Amino acid sequence: MVGDKEITKLIKTEIVRQQWTLDLIPSENIVSPAVLEALGSSLTNKYSEGYPSRRYYGGNEVIDKIEILARERARKVFRLGKNWSVNVQPYSGSPANFAVYFALLNPGEKLMGMSLPFGGHLTHGWKASATGKFWNSVQYGVGRDGYIDYGEVRKIAKKEKPKIIVCGATTYSRVIDFKKFRKIADEVGAYLMVDMAHIAGLIAAGAHPSPFPHADVVTTTTHKTLRGPRGAIIFSKDAKIAAAIDKAVFPGLQGGPHDNQTAAIAVALGEALKLSFKKYGRQIVKNAKVLARELQQIGLEIVSGGTDNHLMLVDLTNSGISGREAQDKLEEVGIIVNRNMIPYDTRSPFDPSGIRIGTPSVTTRGMKEKEMKKIAGLVYDALIGGYSADIAKRVKALCKKFPIYANN
pLDDT in tens, 267-279: 999 999 999 999 9
Task: Tell me, yes or no, whether 248 and 348 share the same domain.
Answer: no
Q: What is the pLDDT of residues 81-138, one digit of tens each?
A: 999 999 999 999 999 999 999 999 999 999 999 999 999 999 999 999 999 999 999 9
Reply yes or no on whether the pLDDT at 46 is more than 50: yes
Q: Of 272, 299, 317, at which residue does a domain stop?
A: 272
Q: Would 348 be classed as within a structural domain? A: yes
Task: Tell me, yes or no, whether 315 and 386 share the same domain.
Answer: yes
Burial of 45 (C-beta count, 10 Å sphere; 0-12/13-18/19+): exposed
Which domain CATH number covers 312? 3.90.1150.10
Q: What is the pLDDT of residues 294-321, one digit of tens each?
A: 999 999 999 999 999 999 999 999 999 9
Domain hosting 373: range is: 5-30+278-401
Task: Tell me, yes or no, whether 57 and 160 share the same domain.
Answer: yes
Task: Tell me, yes or no, whether 60 and 204 share the same domain.
Answer: yes
What is the edge-to-edge ordering of all strands in the sheet holding 301-302? 301-302, 311-315, 354-358, 338-340
Which domain CATH number covers 111? 3.40.640.10
Task: Tell me, yes or no, whether 210 and 192 share the same domain.
Answer: yes
Active site residue 224: yes
Q: Would 201 be classed as within a structural domain? A: yes
Q: What is the pLDDT of residues 176-235, one digit of tens each?
A: 999 999 999 999 999 999 999 999 999 999 999 999 999 999 999 999 999 999 999 999
* Three-state secondary-structure class, residue 311: strand
| Predicted pLDDT of residue 3 | 81
Task: Tell me, yes or no, whether 327 and 209 share the same domain.
Answer: no
Predicted TM-score (pTM) of this structure: 0.96
- Transcribe 335-358 into DSSP letters: EE-EEE--TT--S-TTS-SEEEEE
- Catalytic entry in 28, 47, 325, 381: 47
- Catalytic entry in 21, 170, 220, 221: 221
- Catalytic entry in 46, 183, 230, 324: 230
Q: Of 272, 307, 331, at which residue does a domain stop?
A: 272
| Predicted pLDDT of residue 2 | 62
How far apart, in whole angstroms, are the C-alpha atoms of residue 136 and residue 77? 35
Query: How many structural domains compose the chain?
Result: 2
Active site residue 230: yes
Q: Would 297 be classed as within a structural domain? A: yes
- Catalytic entry in 195, 259, 294, 308: 195
Q: Could you give the C-alpha distances from 80 to 96, 179, 222, 236, in angstroms and in order?
A: 20, 18, 17, 11
Please check whether residue 335 is in contact with residue 21, taking contact to mean a CB–CB distance below 8 angstroms: yes
Q: Would 97 be classed as within a structural domain? A: yes
Greater confidence, 405 or 71? 71
Contacts of 25 (CB under 8 A, 6+ apart): 336, 337, 338, 356, 358, 361
Please check whether residue 219 is in contact with residue 212, taking contact to mean a CB–CB distance below 8 angstroms: no
Q: What angle do CA 319, 309, 374 make, to 5 degrees?
A: 55
Reply yes or no on whether the pLDDT at 408 is more than 50: no
Task: Tell me, yes or no, whether 197 and 250 share the same domain.
Answer: yes
Q: Would 408 be classed as within a structural domain? A: no
Task: Tell me, yes or no, whether 290 and 149 share the same domain.
Answer: no
Q: Would 407 be classed as within a structural domain? A: no
CA-based R_g, the chain, Å = 21
Q: Of 272, 295, 323, at which residue does a domain stop?
A: 272
Task: Tell me, yes or no, whether 116 and 221 share the same domain.
Answer: yes
Task: Tell me, yes or no, whether 353 and 287 share the same domain.
Answer: yes
Q: Would 55 be classed as within a structural domain? A: yes
Average pLDDT over residues 343-362: 96
Task: Tell me, yes or no, whether 238 and 148 share the same domain.
Answer: yes
- Catalytic entry in 224, 289, 365, 394: 224
Measured torsion, CA atoms of residues 127, 131, 136, 141, in degrees rounded to the nearest 10: -60
- Catalytic entry in 28, 46, 49, 374: 49
Amino acid in the structure at residue 279? K
How far apart, in whole angstroms, are the C-alpha atoms of residue 408 and residue 351? 35
Q: Would 406 be classed as within a structural domain? A: no
Task: Tell me, yes or no, whether 181 and 300 share the same domain.
Answer: no
